[in-house]
Amino acid sequence: MDHHTPPFDPSGFRRALGMFATGVTIVTARAGDGTPVGMTANSFNSVSLDPPMVLWSLAKSARSLPVFHAAEHWNVHILANEQNDLANRFARAGEDKFAGLALETALADAPLLAGCSARFQCRTVFRYEGGDHIIFVGEVIGFDRSEAAPLLYVSGEYALATRLSQPVATAANASNDAPAPFTEELLGYLLGRAHYQFMWGFQRTLGELGLSHGEFFVLSLLAVRAGLDAAEIAAHTAYTGIAADAGLLETMCARGLLVANPGPATRYAPSPAGQAASRQVLAAAYAVEAALVEQLGAREAAGLRNLLKHLIRASDPGLPMLWAANA
């Protein structure tokens, strides 16, 4: 059965299909002997609202095929952002996929995984031949959802969903003339403005405590990495343009914010007063963050964190690691 006028390019076909962004699911069922099976599938889709029906398709080569074929019930788990390890686990053959996973009570025998964005418990109603796949259509007998942001899959990679922001009409954007030197789309502008507006939210707390940005920066750094010497502090802060030099460190010692531990190289740590001050500023910063996340929504906040981490990695001039665990 060759409908395709040659040459048909299978890998190009896969890549073209990959442009259709999907969520990521794990579909589970249970063999007659009680053995659980499950596999990662992005072929899931909704079919009907009344009666509620969904579908997904399974490669005929899948090891779990006989179990799904015989199963009366299967559960579809829409995976959350942080479940990409689970997606990988269930996409590999030959692993004990369910090891260490806590299962929840299901309506029927199919295993029910926890921590997902949504779950659909289904009863098989149709099975269709679909080339090298079998299409399963199920009636939904139970479902639930959580606020956990869903994991996406596009172009062969996991991705996060972020809302498109409202296009902002500006004089620069409205005209199609030569690119303006300074526009609202300039990343530097967006980052700078976002940074300053964020800082503005807890600027008052800094003022009340009489802390300069430099002092706050040094206190925050030493809250994570106490016992750095002046050269290390300078290396961590050089990119900020803040002069965290010997002069600043001495002033901070004199103001009772830092204690200096003499040795071959003097090492600095926040004093109890310094710790209290940085805790207060951090609390204010967390309050600003909480209000922002409330406005943005948890999904946007997760997407933003992800993009900022990409950006920080991509633009890193070779700074020392702050959080060793992230190394």
Ligand X SMILES: Cc1cc2nc3c(=O)[nH]c(=O)nc-3n(C[C@H](O)[C@H](O)[C@H](O)COP(=O)(O)O)c2cc1C
Which residue lies nearer to ligand X by CB, 87 or 110? 87
Candidate list 58, 110, 112, 285; residue touching ligand X; CB under 6 A:
58
Which residue lies nearer to ligand X by CB, 34 or 317? 34
Site for ligand X in 174-193 (CB under 6 A): none
Q: How many residues belong to the site for ligand X (CB under 6 A)?
A: 18
Candidate list 18, 47, 52, 59; residue touching ligand X; CB under 6 A:
59
Site for ligand X in 65-94 (CB under 6 A): 87, 91-93
Does position 64 interact with ligand X (CB under 6 A)? The reply is: yes
Does position 57 interact with ligand X (CB under 6 A)? The reply is: yes
Candidate list 74, 120, 153, 217; residue touching ligand X; CB under 6 A:
153
> Which two structure tokens, joined as six digits, stand for 50?
């009344």
Rg (alpha carbons) of the chain, rounded to whole number: 27
Task: State the binding string over 20-49 for ligand X (x if CB under 6 A, else -).
Answer: ----x--------------xxxxx------
**Least distance (Å) between residue 245 CB and ligand X:** 51
Query: 107 — phi, psi (to 5°)?
Result: -70, -35
- List residues near ligand X by CB under 6 A: 24, 39-43, 56-59, 62-64, 87, 91-93, 153
